[in-house]
Amino acid sequence: MGIFDKIKHAIFGEAKAAEPVAVSPQQIEPAQAPASPSAAPSPTPAAAPAQSKPATVTVDIVPLLDAAVKKSGQKLDWRRSIVDLMKAVGMDASLTERKELAAELGYTGDTNDSAKMNMWLHKALMKRLSENGGKVPADLLD
């Protein structure tokens, strides 16, 4: 599991874990259908597309990261700092980890210029979270 996946899991973890709960009522539909015997086969195919919908559910990252900051007990600015974001979700925010994340996300600049790399990382991470089901505020997407 790469650094991005660890961050995504740390942020989305609880929200993604709730998805099976959202699917459970849909899985019950076919059991309710036998009241109308001719309708029994059709709810099963309808339930399959409905089950795939939770995979595309958008997860609002703001309350999740705000809660993570509060839980950390530290004054962290996850909206502007990749280091603070990583600390908020309980990850190692060392330069080594950030360089690995930069490589993962396709950073082509000088990794020894940590200020520039960190700014790029934060924007790239927000974009990638958005592409992977995260609802990211527009001002953080550039």
Tens-digit pLDDT profile for the chain (142 aa)? Answer: 799 999 999 999 855 544 433 333 333 344 444 444 444 444 444 444 444 444 567 899 999 999 999 999 999 999 999 999 999 999 999 999 999 999 999 999 999 999 999 999 999 999 999 999 999 999 999 7
Q: What does the pLDDT read at residue 128? A: 96
pTM score: 0.70
* Cβ contacts of 121-124, under 8 Å, gap ≥ 24: 121/82, 122/80, 122/81, 122/82, 122/85
Residue ranges of the domains in the chain? 14-56, 58-140
In degrees and rounded to multiples of 5, residue 59 shows phi and psi of -105, 120
Give helix 19-32 / helix 43-52 axis angle, nearest 10°: 170
> In the chain, what is the straight-line distance between the N-terminal and C-terminal CA atoms, in Å?
27
